[in-house]
Amino acid sequence: MNENHYRVTGMTCGHCVASVAEEVAEVPGVRDVTVDLPEGTVLVRGRDLDDALIRTAIGEAGYTVTEPVAV
């Protein structure tokens, strides 16, 4: 299983967290999404993860994704 980490700006509440998690969960290959509101990060686990599709999903939820977070 692969992991991608993203820094996301604009999230301010639990609804924001749910919106991001729901959109990203729809991306093919995604098995698990963990959104950390205080840190402003999103951890995506799955197989054959498509970075562009994940970024698009976060954008469609209404938030801005920056460069992946180094682990």
Task: Report the pLDDT value the prediction gives residue 71, as an integer from 0 to 100.
Answer: 58
Mean pLDDT, each 10-residue run in order, the chain (71 residues): 95 97 98 98 97 97 82 58
Residue 33: which domain range?
2-68
For residue 7, give both structure tokens. Answer: 């820094």
How far is the C-alpha of 44 from the C-alpha of 32, rounded, in Å? 6
Structure tokens at 66: 């920056």
Q: For residue 54, what pLDDT is reported?
A: 97
Domain containing residue 38: CATH number: 3.30.70.100
Total domain count, the chain = 1
Neighbours of 57 (CB within 10 A): 24
Backbone angles phi, psi at 52, to 5 degrees: -65, -40
- Token pair 């639990």 is found at 14
